[in-house]
């Protein structure tokens, strides 16, 4: 069963072994919208197994996609891989008619969004004085020196081991 764009699945007369469903859905269809930090230019992929229980449906599988998120320091957009590898939701009392996975996948994807991101570990961020991206240009503004840029090896050099007789 392949679906595109709708996460409601008929579960009437689901065979005992269940069914596999896979497809793609727009992030906007699960109410995950661009918000100034994240944008979602591509679709979300999912591969799920719907298994019948006595009085419900067990949904297991995975979902994955890509988003664009701005770097916390320099605000440059970066592509981030999103993965919800352990989707697992129990729908009780569904009456064996239709199960709607919209809310379930939304939860899983929101958990997969990185809360913090640097474009690279040593991102130099924006200059607090002129606002330029210091990864791209050295604006030459005076550094306050208070933002932890100290070189740890420099501190070791200050110990100056060479003077021992
Ligand atoms: Zn950055
Ligand atoms: Zn500057």
Question: From the CA of 136, which ligand is nearest?
Answer: 1
Q: Which residues surround ligand 2, an ion (CB under 5 A)?
A: 127, 129-130, 139, 141
Question: So where are the chain's domains?
Answer: 2-123, 124-160
Residue 77 dihedral angles phi and psi, to the nearest 5°: -70, 135
Question: From the CA of 117, which ligand is nearest?
Answer: 1
How far, in Å, is the centroid of ligand 1 from the Cα of 87?
Answer: 31
How far, in Å, is the centroid of ligand 2 from the Cα of 140?
Answer: 6
Tell me the pLDDT tens digit for each residue of 10-65. Answer: 888 889 999 999 999 999 999 999 999 999 999 999 999 999 988 889 999 999 99
Q: How far apart are CA 8 and CA 102, in angstroms?
A: 8
Element (H, E) at 2: strand 2-4
Residue 110 dihedral angles phi and psi, to the nearest 5°: -60, -35
pLDDT reported for residue 54: 83
Q: Is the pLDDT of residue 102 over 50?
A: yes
How far, in Å, is the centroid of ligand 1 from the Cα of 117?
Answer: 8
Tell me the pLDDT tens digit for each residue of 113-151. Answer: 999 999 999 999 999 999 999 999 999 897 655 555 555
What is the residue-averaged pLDDT of the chain? Answer: 86
| pTM of the model as a whole | 0.76
Share of the chain above pLDDT 70, in %: 82
Q: Is the pLDDT of residue 111 over 90?
A: yes
Q: How far apart are CA 90 and CA 58, in angstroms?
A: 5
How far, in Å, is the centroid of ligand 1 from the Cα of 57?
Answer: 44
pLDDT reported for residue 10: 86
Q: How far apart are CA 43 and CA 132, in angstroms?
A: 33
Residue 31 dihedral angles phi and psi, to the nearest 5°: 60, 35
Q: Is the pLDDT of residue 152 over 70?
A: no
pLDDT reported for residue 143: 63
């Amino acid at each position: 069963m392949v679906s595109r764009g709708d996460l409601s699945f008929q579960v009437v007369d689901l065979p005992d072994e269940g069914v596999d469903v896979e497809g793609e859905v727009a992030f906007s269809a699960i109410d995950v919208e661009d918000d100034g930090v994240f944008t979602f230019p591509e679709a979300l992929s999912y591969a799920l197994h719907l298994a019948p229980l006595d009085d419900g449906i067990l949904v297991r599988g995975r979902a994955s996609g890509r988003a664009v998120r701005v770097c916390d320091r320099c605000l440059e957009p970066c592509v981030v891989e999103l993965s919800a590898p352990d989707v697992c939701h129990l729908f009780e009392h569904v009456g064996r008619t239709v199960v709607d996975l919209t809310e379930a996948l939304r939860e899983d994807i929101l958990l997969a969004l990185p809360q913090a991101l640097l474009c690279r570990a040593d991102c130099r961020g924006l200059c607090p004085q002129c606002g330029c991206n210091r990864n791209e240009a050295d604006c030459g503004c005076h550094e306050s020196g208070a933002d932890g840029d100290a070189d740890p090896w420099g501190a070791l050099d200050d110990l100056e081991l060479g003077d021992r007789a």
